Amino acid sequence: MLMIGQAELGVEYHNITTLILFPRTNGIHLRWKLRARSAAKYVTLYNGINSISKLDKDETQLLGKYLVEDIKAIVSLSNIGPFLLVSDDENDIATARLANLTRPRIVLTPIHLDFIRKKINQSGHAQEVFKALIKTLLYAITRDISFAHIAYLALNVNRINYTIYDNSAIKLRFSLSTMVRAQAFDWAYDAFTVEQRRELINDFQYAASIFISYSGRIE
């Protein structure tokens, strides 16, 4: 078994079963290669565990069964791992997890700060989502979980208005809200529960579908 990110094990590559993943806009791409001598015909992928001994745990999620020669599968971005691959004869096992080395990604220029201040003091649709952004920034600085809780409540209020109609001004409002929600998601990512992350990711997927449907139709 090869753990992604693990140091070189001193074993020939063709004698190792590997599982790697690539987050993409349309989902998480999982690719596998079984060791050369493997006799397996199928592999089963799971989300939420990294050991075959944990297959009966409640958090285990079956992603699907695939032919070995399929080589890859695409699963929803709502799956956050870790991921486990098990061959049909259980002789080949591999795990992988999403890297989370760069969160929170915070870059604030004087212009950006001035823009945030204006939006916080400006009543209307954007005010609650920018207030949520500030709370996630406070969480990133203090690690006080209460700020993340308040931010999530504000994002839920913002979700009520998180829709779009055939109007240019509202399209712009929707785009701005999506941008700020993405920043808030990044800044307080580790404080959100798995379910909260999934809800926010669903929002982003909805936004992506809207942007695609309106591409080429800018008024």
Q: How many domains does the chain have?
A: 2
CB-based contacts of 126-130 (< 8 A; 24+ apart in sequence): 126/173, 126/176, 126/177, 126/180, 128/154, 128/157, 128/158, 129/154, 129/155, 129/158, 129/177, 129/180, 129/181, 129/184, 130/180
* 104 assigned to some structural domain: no
What whole-number distance in Å separates Cα of residue 170 and Cα of residue 165? 7
Lowest mean pLDDT among 23-27, 93-97, 212-216: 212-216
Range of the domain at 132: 110-214
- Tally of CA atoms within 13 A in the half-sphere of 24 that contains its CB: 11
* 87 assigned to some structural domain: yes
* 209 assigned to some structural domain: yes
Rounded to two decimals, what is the model's pTM?
0.51
Looking at the fold, whether 91 and 118 belong to one and the same domain comes out as: no
Q: Residues 174-212: pLDDT tens digits? A: 777 888 889 999 999 999 999 999 989 888 888 777 777
Q: Is 54 helix (H, G, I), strand (E, B) or coil?
A: helix
Are 71 and 32 in contact by the 8 Å Cβ rule? The answer is yes
Q: Residues 109-147: pLDDT tens digits? A: 888 889 899 888 888 767 888 989 999 999 999 999 999
